[in-house]
Structure 1
Amino acid sequence: MSNRTVTVWIVAIVCFVVLMFVTPSIPQDQEYHDFADHRQFFGIPNALNVISNVPFFIIGVIGLVLCYYKNFFKLSLKGELCGWTFFYIGVAAVGFGSSYYHLEPNDARLVWDRLPMTISFTSIIAIFIIERIDEQKGTYSIIPLLLAGAVSILYWRFFDDLRPYALVQFVPCIAIPLMAIMLPPMYTHSSYWLWAAGFYLLAKVEEAIDDPIYEWTNHIVSGHTLKHLCAAMVPVFLTLMLAKRDIVAERKIAKMVLQGVLRCLVLKLFILINFP
């Protein structure tokens, strides 16, 4: 790990510590567990909030399979496969964890809702670092970022303070769109990142107006149920992106030029050896 990377990590840790000192703690509001739609269907309490998590499991499993099926996603960098594997594991686990939580909403069960989400959030940040900044740094950041996400959940659970978790959840919402716009892409179809970010933002809005949406729809569907469905569109768009994308033309040309130069050098070396 280079000195620059170490410096970045130290600065990030110092900023986090300072932030923890200068900001008040954020306890978990117990009203959070009181969702608008409590209806029971087929013996399932809070049925729509439970069932609406199924898409996470489906797309998570599909993405995980495609990561390893004949390199369907054409993952070309060392850390990409690892990063996307963790992402899809997190997505699939949300299907279980969030369903488990919504069967009987409380803090203890909420851990299993939030933990898979942090796996997906943090792995996405690592993937972006791999693709847009530096492959090696991004690969090395996967485990530290995953651990940071897990620690944020444990910190909330033991100290009833959501500040670290809030950072883990919302930093990607800011960093990913900025990096998508400002840093040159390695692959085509990078606009799918922005579509994914847009659907996630919409999901957060729907979550915030859970009760009003339930009233506006005449008690047909709640904002939280729609939040699940919109949030599930994030991995859908990212899966479509992976299936469609290719290395951008500039990088292809650079690779071809490099290969041509190497062939010329090998040929020249062969001539020098055999025809001195």
Structure 2
Amino acid sequence: MGGEWWRKKWVAWAAAAAIFVVLMLVTPAIPQDEDYHDFADQRVLFLGIPNTLNVISNIPFLFVGLAGLILCHYKNYFRLCSQGELWSWTLFYAGVTAVGVGSSYYHLYPNDATLVWDRLPMTIAFTSIVAIFIIERVDDRAGTKSLAPLVIAGALSILYWSFFDDLRPYAIIQFVPCIVIPVMAIVIPPMYTHSSYWLWAAGFYLLAKVEEAADKPIYRWTHDIVSGHTLKHLCAAMVPVFLTLMLAKRTIEPDRVSLLQMWKISWRERGSKDSNTVDVKYDYAAVSTTSEQQ
């Protein structure tokens, strides 16, 4: 049994590595678009801070990240069950805290060199979340051992981009979790309750990416009040907020049932209630008709 598990694990890692190599071979390089640094809102609103709203909208990351770090280690407030969980969540909140600093620094002086300090902490947070999901949904030991390789892979993707001006590895590190994590949250039975908070977090992250892409249109639509990129920071900060609420509320799930199974049960119950309602109405109509005839 143990040998079979190890074989499946190495097959999974080998398949992931093979997919990465194939993607790197068949897809063209993705250079950093210099227009990316040309944000819609470049106003100096107070204290002489350039790009003021894009800078200060990163403050929520700092507060949520620091709060999460404290609660991870304060009397085990989050009731984490293993060292792997503790270190994974610690790295996640460290990444979130660093996003608050690194992204603010980048928006003070937007260029490729400062963008490194914006993206590096984000990869730490992304990769830590993947390890957390493996710990909670697949296997504690495998997830714990995957934490360091995943974080290192994320950091290497940033170094690769900074040296070779190619965003492909970073794009994989950023967007694969956006697909894999919601799917795992729905399909694989959770260890803890309040699993739906993962979907709320994923939803806010998706909204943040839409706002980022619509930076200038949103700025025009709001009559130069707020840009899409500023809103992107605020929505992205809701991701660690929802995950922190989840950690504070959740308990061990006694009956490990996936969200998909729960939805199926809910749909069946709703369908049976609807059919019972129809039967009652039909019987009532039949009784009423009979009474009138008499």
Same fold (TM over 0.5): yes
Q: Compute the displacement of 1:13 (Å).
A: 1.0
Task: Give unmatched runs, 5+ long, in structure 2.
Answer: 257-294
Return the match for 2:19 from 10, 15, 19: 15
Q: Which residue of 1 aligns with 2:134?
A: 129
Amino acid in structure 1 at the alignment position of 2:16: A
Amino acid in structure 2 at the alignment position of 1:101? Y
Secondary structure of 1:37's aligned partner: coil
The count of aligned residue pairs is 251
- Show the counterpart of 1:255: none
Q: Which amino acid aligns with 2:123?
A: T
For residue 55 of structure 1, the aligned residue among 53, 56, 60 is 60
2:49 pairs, out of 44, 47, 53, with: 44
The alpha carbon displacement at 1:15 in A equals 1.3
CA distance in 2, matches of 1:158, 1:151: 10
The one of 64, 72, 82 equivalent to 1:67 is 72
Q: Distance in 2 between matches of 1:4 and 1:102?
A: 44
Kindly report which structure 2 residues correspond to 1:54-203, keeping only aligned pairs within 5 A, or say none: 54-203=59-208
C-alpha separation in 2, matches of 1:15 and 1:170: 15
Establish whether residue 233 from structure 1 lines up as the match of residue 238 from structure 2. Answer: yes
Deviation at 1:159, TM superposition (A): 0.5
Q: Shift of residue 11 of structure 1? A: 1.7
Equivalent AA in structure 1 for residue 240 of structure 2: P
Give the Cα–Cα distance (whole angstroms) in 2 for the partners of residues 250 and 201 of structure 1: 30
Identity of aligned residues (%): 72
Distance in 2 (CA, whole Å) between partners of 1:121 and 1:3 is 26
CA shift for structure 1 position 5: 1.9
- For 1:92, the aligned partner's letter is T
Whether the 8 Å contact between 1:78 and 1:135 is mirrored in structure 2 is no
Partner of 2:286: none
For 2:19 and 2:39, locate their aligned partners in 1 and report how far apart those are by CA, in whole Å.
35
Residues 170-227 of structure 1 deviation map (CA, whole Å, 9 limit, x = unaligned): 0110000000000001100000000000000000000000001101111110000000
User: In the TM superposition, what are the counterparts of 1:202-221 in structure 2 within 5 Å?
Assistant: 202-221=207-226
Aligned 8 A contact 1:87 1:120 in 2: yes
1:12-46 C-alpha deviation (Å, 9 max, x unpaired): 11111111000011000000000000000220000
| Higher radius of gyration, 1 or 2 | 2
SS at match of 1:249: coil
- Measured on the aligned residues, the alpha-carbon RMSD in Å equals 1.0
User: 1:37, 1:214 within 8 Å by CA — same for their partners in 2?
Assistant: yes
Report 1:26-41 matches (<5 A).
Answer: 26-41=30-45
Q: Which residue identity does 2:151 align to in structure 1?
A: L
Give, as a single letter, the amino acid of the residue that structure 1 aligns with 2:38: D
TM-score norm. by structure 2 comes to: 0.84
* Contact 1:86 1:120 (C-alpha < 8 Å) held by counterparts: yes
Contact persistence 1:128–1:176 (CA under 8 A): yes
Q: Structure 1 length normalisation: TM-score? A: 0.90
Alpha-carbon offset, residue 10 of structure 1: 1.7
* Cα deviations by residue, 1:139-192 (Å, 9 ceiling, x for unpaired): 000000000000100011101000000000001100000000000011000000
CA distance in 2, matches of 1:68, 1:91: 16
CA distance in 1, matches of 2:254, 2:137: 16
Paired position in structure 2 for 1:266:
none
- Cα deviation, residue 250, structure 1: 2.4
Structure 1 CA distance for aligned equivalents of residues 12 and 241 of structure 2: 32
